[in-house]
Structure 1
Amino acid sequence: MALAHSESSDGTRYRDLNGNGVMDPYEDPRLSSDDRADDLLGRLSLEEKAGLVFQTVIHVGAPGDHDDPGHVGTGTARELVLGKRMNHFNVTRLPSARQTALWVNALQELAEGTPHGIPVTLASDPRHGFSHNEGMVQPAGHLSQWPETLGLAAIGEVDLFERFADVARREYRALGITSAIHPQIDLATDPRWARQLQTFGQDPAQVSAFVAAYLRGFQGQDLSTGVACIAKHFPGGGAQKDGEDPHFPYGREQVYPGGRFDEHLAPFRAAIFAGVAAVMPYYGMPVGLTVDGELIDEVGFAFNRAIITDLLRSRLHFDGVVVSDWAIISDIEVAGKPWPAKAWGVEHLSIPERVTLALQSGVDQIGGETLTEVVVDLVQNGTIEEEHLNQSVRRILLVKFRLGLFDNPYVEPDTADAAVGTVEYRQEGHNAQARSITILKNEGILPLPEGTRLYCEGMNVDDVRQYGVEVVDKPEDADVAVVRLAAPYEPRDMYFLEAATHQGSLDFDPEVIAHLADLASRTAVIADIHLERAAILTPIAPSTSALVGNYGASDRALLDALFGRIQAQGTLPMELPSSMTEVLASYPDVPSDTGNPLFPVGHSVPYATVMRT
């Protein structure tokens, strides 16, 4: 059973988390978060402190089944919470809202069995869109579904960012999720980079305005009803050498040949000013980077004292939690695929040495690891001073207190289903999907008139018919062919997460180009490109009567935009190059740096003023 509230001698209701029959200061809801954190810090054992400085993935299984390791392989809930004294976890796959809430409550009840009853903080990667990459982003499922944040940037309304974040906050809270492993405020400057879809675009000023609104919506005024956000990936992950991603060994180098490092910092300055709870350094290691005349060590940002302590803490005055990205210490294997530790530049160090360097460089909490015993040993043998550890633990506890978890970590299973994915929220998400559609080319064919016969590829034909449109089986019988295409990429599948991390060339396969040309010889073609990153549209544009881009949109949302039932209002939040030759000649840290782009940033064209019949 969940812990019942007790009543102090003066009538104050509190939770007796350590079971001593006394309302200790950390249990007193009347005291400030600072006072409560200070009191609890002095009571913790070294093992409890070590548990607080790690966060990892946890399996969401049957409520109350604390001995099922599930598919993630990091350990059972009982092992992690009671054995390792951990109480920060991120969740991936979720059942229904009600089942999730029941599982959360059972986990919080388990945490009450620890010496000081420290409640669990549950975190999530973005999960309100269409993308799915297990270690980076989850699909919406039973939550409301919106375009990815790059699509919100295409709409370009600051208020919409705040409204989306407020809806997401309410849904997270209903599920017991109180930490967001986002916003991702990297600048989308290299067209090839795989992580652009969850960014806010390429413009530093716009991204800064968007992130301030996003944090207002998610965190609220004081976190008491909010969700603590982790801004990532400091100091800006968009400037990747050759556009490759540092989740993998070949993408470990981050470069600034255009000298735009300060521009990539700008959104983080805005996030810090807005009070973001935490910041996550990226995996990448800077190559040839000089900051204020100092050459920065070529080691991963989580191991880089000049970046975390000197820049983030001292110069930018960030006093919140620094959470490392996942799996920077240990080599692991997931689903039969290797995933080397992202210990770029310090691969030669042992595991204890890597942990030491990360903590001494300024990391407070290490993600994706459970090495609590290593930290205990490092403190006991004098390698890490306990006072240094205390500073990190206090920052982490402060966020828990500000979230109100010590006073009530439980959620309401009976109302969870009604609070998540409401009709209102789903309609708002749908409207945003349609509005974010970007019309790149329109030869007078859009908006489509009612009664248009469609031939469809890449769409669910049953959904299209339910929309009220006649669907034909042959292109030559259609008024228009609507073809939905993914942005091109080079298939890779050596490492964990690599298959779903789309990288490499932006060129379409010749077969796709030829197929569109053949379709165009038989009927008018509208091509819709899923712009998870840029694409070279030069060879396919001539075959289309209209060309549009989406950033996560259902078939119905696309049709609403094509028929003009909901106005497509998106403008390109990044440029679309004309060729890979131009991409290869560009600088990865400089926005809009390809020569003669096919469609520049900000591009869109309107609907035809006279509807075609």
Structure 2
Amino acid sequence: MDDPRVAIRHRLRPAAATVTVRLVSSPNTAPYRDPTQRTARRVEDLLGRMTLAEKAGLLFHTMIDIGPGGSLAPADLQAGLIDAQELVVNRNLSHLNLVGSGTPRQLARWHNRLQDLAADTRLGIPVTVSTDPRHASSDNPNTSVLAGPFSRWPEPLGLAATRDAGLVERFADVVRQEYCAVGLRLALHPQADLASEPRWPRVVGTFGADPDLVCELVRAYLRGLCAGELGPGSVAAMVKHFPGGGPQRDGEDPHFAYGREQVYPGGRFEEHLRPFAAALAAGASQVMPYYGMPVGTPYEEVGFAFNRDVVTGLLRERLGFDGIVCTDWGVLTDDRYLGQERPARAWGVEHLDPAARARKAIEAGVDQFGGEARPDLIIELVRDGQVSEQRLDASARRLLREKFTLGLFDDPYVDEERAEETVGRADFQAAGAAAQRACVTLLSNAAGHSPAHLPLRPGLRIYCGDLAPDALRGHAMPVDDPARADVAILRVQAPYETRPGPIDAFFHAGSLEFPPERRDRILAIADAVPTIVDVYLDRPAILTPLADRAAALLVTFGVSDDALADVLCGRAAPRGRLPFDLPASAADVESGRPDVPFDAAEPLFRYGHGLNY
């Protein structure tokens, strides 16, 4: 292959320093390899050189893992993962979703080895590596990755609780720097969904229930990821879940057949579109339609990825989007994940075979299939005349255009030393900790007690419950028995119903009420000693039984013990405000309309509530 004018990183050598090599221009340089050419010219030149199989490979974007020490991992059929050689070389995939983690140096090394593999293919198309969120405490293999070596921040709900667009932009800029350092160039986030149904398990990834605030924060997030305008220093964003994933019947999630119906009894479909319009205006280059299928609307009752009126009619024609539309993961084929067989999330088109599903999605306006590695399906459709190669070219242009825009053809490699220096940098960690403190939301202080118990006076004997005693060092004396304490501190998880199965169990769904045994344990301690209760909200909770009996009631959104202790001890003040209503009862939740934010007449605590001291 001719490589003139391509900025490449010298091939990895054992224990070698990273060296940048810039090759000299040549009259024989292929236009797509020439960075002085316009992007449109480079795209058309490369597209004209591609075979049907190479074009088909562009349309798939599946998961991949990292191997020991930053090596390319072998296939793991139990986890449903295929090895890099098969994906990149044999199936021509060049978009891969990294699901594993490692040290910054290992992540960078793995990324460079992956790009080496791609460089040795016929056309040398670099790989775009994507990731789910990696900067918080959530760890759901379907939706997010534990922060690990990356700086740790609150969940998006916590960022929403700060109501600080500047903070959100700074956070996204840190994400951009840390991702770019290890070669992650596509964020499978943010969620632009409205948290209108409090039982929905994906509320934790949203910016809350207020459309105005969600629009403001989504715009800020996109500014931080793009660093002004999408380019070589940017992380592209795949905004999800179009046209808004909040209005799920009974709050169930459409990862599962029992949660596939999306309903709009309040007629608020348009309200859920607003944050997506804001995201597109702010530079989102990719959009992910949700699994859900609309019920009781003018739209066809099929999953949104298969819905032409939604993808082409709303997104492409009405909102004017000409970027990449990628389906949510696994809408074509049945798969095996976490050792469990699961059906394709092909709601409303379950009766179609995978090839027919692919054709329907392409006809709807989709460019790429997430979580799938079946280019053979597209090759079959084109050869059978069911999909034209011209239609395939339209999607391929969008996908190639973004690779060129991100600078991947000119320098796809990363520097291991720089990765080590950048990811988890001290100032990034400090900024994340400050954001955690800022999102702490104080709902009540001195309820049933006098005077107020927060901030904590120095020298108290404190029963720490699940709070690490070291977090109170120098301020209080930890004791291991509530009966010996002046104050108790309890950190509890918002309630949910545990679902059977290794995949379902990761989704916190069902009732928002504490089970009686958990509620009674908390209240028994609260009745024995003044008790400060902190509830981690990954979605709203019914806190009515606690509100009048806790000495103080706080809610947090992915906050470390140290950050919470700083607020409890008065080293920082609680600044958070609720990003949604907290319902007073299960009856209020069940009577609410899933598409309508703030639908309860008398919530226990209203949106925006939060005390200070």
TM range (shorter): over 0.9
For the Cα contact (< 8 Å) 1:15–1:407, is it kept in 2? no
In structure 2, which of residues 552, 555, 560 is the aligned counterpart of residue 554 of structure 1?
A: 560
1:585 aligns to 2:588 (yes or no): no
Displacement of 1:68 in angstroms is 0.9
Instruction: Give the number of equivalent residue pairs.
Output: 593
In percent, how many aligned pairs have the same letter?
Answer: 47
For the Cα contact (< 8 Å) 2:246–2:594, is it kept in 1? yes
In structure 2, which of residues 335, 356, 374 is the aligned counterpart of residue 371 of structure 1?
A: 374
TM-score by length of 1: 0.94
1:67 to 1:95, Cα distance in 2 relative to 1, 3 A: closer
**Residue 607 of structure 2: aligned partner:** 601
Hey, what's the Cα distance between the residues in 2 that align with 1:328 and 1:606? 47
User: 5 Å matches for 1:97-176?
Assistant: 97-176=104-183
Unmatched 5+ stretches in structure 2: 8-20, 447-451
1:16 to 1:86, Cα distance in 2 relative to 1, 3 A: farther
User: 5 Å matches for 1:206-605?
Assistant: 206-220=213-227, 221-289=229-297, 295-443=298-446, 444-461=452-469, 463-464=470-471, 466=473, 469-494=476-501, 496-605=502-611
Hey, what's the Cα distance between the residues in 2 that align with 1:467 and 1:277? 49
For the Cα contact (< 8 Å) 1:62–1:103, is it kept in 2? no
**Residue 611 of structure 1: aligned partner:** none
Kindly provide the amino acid, as one letter, of the partner of residue 248 in structure 2: Q
- Aligned to 1:42, what secondary structure does the other structure show? helix
- Aligned to 2:240, what secondary structure does the other structure show? strand
Q: Deviations over 1:234-286 (max 9, x none)?
A: 00000001111000000000000001111100000111111211000000000
Displacement of 1:115 in angstroms is 1.1
Kindly provide the amino acid, as one letter, of the partner of residue 340 in structure 2: K
Displacement of 1:64 in angstroms is 7.4
Displacement of 1:74 in angstroms is 2.7
Hey, what's the Cα distance between the residues in 1 that align with 2:484 and 2:282? 56
Hey, what's the Cα distance between the residues in 2 that align with 1:479 and 1:33? 68
Kindly provide the amino acid, as one letter, of the partner of residue 235 in structure 1: P
Hey, what's the Cα distance between the residues in 2 that align with 1:67 and 1:224? 27
**Residue 86 of structure 2: aligned partner:** 79
Displacement of 1:541 in angstroms is 1.8
For the Cα contact (< 8 Å) 2:6–2:411, is it kept in 1? no
Hey, what's the Cα distance between the residues in 2 that align with 1:199 and 1:16? 48
Q: Deviations over 1:192-221 (max 9, x none)?
A: 110011101111111111111111100122
Hey, what's the Cα distance between the residues in 2 that align with 1:64 and 1:472? 44
For the Cα contact (< 8 Å) 1:297–1:304, is it kept in 2? yes
Displacement of 1:16 in angstroms is 9.9
Q: Deviations over 1:311-349 (max 9, x none)?
A: 100011001000100000111122232322110000000
1:342 to 1:517, Cα distance in 2 relative to 1, 3 A: same
- Aligned to 2:81, what secondary structure does the other structure show? coil
Q: Deviations over 1:55-100 (max 9, x none)?
A: 0000111467446114643311000000000010111221100011
Displacement of 1:15 in angstroms is 6.5
1:31 aligns to 2:26 (yes or no): no
Kindly provide the amino acid, as one letter, of the partner of residue 440 in structure 1: L
- Aligned to 1:183, what secondary structure does the other structure show? coil
**Residue 11 of structure 2: aligned partner:** none
Displacement of 1:3 in angstroms is 7.4
**Residue 13 of structure 2: aligned partner:** none
For the Cα contact (< 8 Å) 2:436–2:558, is it kept in 1? yes
Comparing 24-33 with 184-193, greater Cα deviation is found at 24-33
Hey, what's the Cα distance between the residues in 2 that align with 1:334 and 1:63? 24
- Aligned to 1:262, what secondary structure does the other structure show? helix
Hey, what's the Cα distance between the residues in 2 that align with 1:441 and 1:240? 31
For the Cα contact (< 8 Å) 1:59–1:72, is it kept in 2? no
For the Cα contact (< 8 Å) 2:58–2:396, is it kept in 1? yes
Hey, what's the Cα distance between the residues in 2 that align with 1:468 and 1:399? 53
Hey, what's the Cα distance between the residues in 2 that align with 1:415 and 1:381? 49
For the Cα contact (< 8 Å) 2:573–2:612, is it kept in 1? no
1:149 to 1:557, Cα distance in 2 relative to 1, 3 A: same
Hey, what's the Cα distance between the residues in 1 that align with 2:67 and 2:27? 33
- Aligned to 1:99, what secondary structure does the other structure show? helix
- Aligned to 1:178, what secondary structure does the other structure show? strand
Kindly provide the amino acid, as one letter, of the partner of residue 513 in structure 1: R
Unmatched 5+ stretches in structure 1: 8-12, 290-294, 608-613
Hey, what's the Cα distance between the residues in 2 that align with 1:335 and 1:367? 17
Displacement of 1:452 in angstroms is 2.6
1:153 to 1:6, Cα distance in 2 relative to 1, 3 A: closer
Hey, what's the Cα distance between the residues in 2 that align with 1:356 and 1:75? 24
Hey, what's the Cα distance between the residues in 1 that align with 2:529 and 2:549? 10
For the Cα contact (< 8 Å) 2:168–2:220, is it kept in 1? yes
Hey, what's the Cα distance between the residues in 2 that align with 1:335 and 1:210? 34
- Aligned to 2:288, what secondary structure does the other structure show? strand
1:126 to 1:16, Cα distance in 2 relative to 1, 3 A: farther
Hey, what's the Cα distance between the residues in 2 that align with 1:464 and 1:222? 41
For the Cα contact (< 8 Å) 2:291–2:347, is it kept in 1? yes
TM-score by length of 2: 0.94
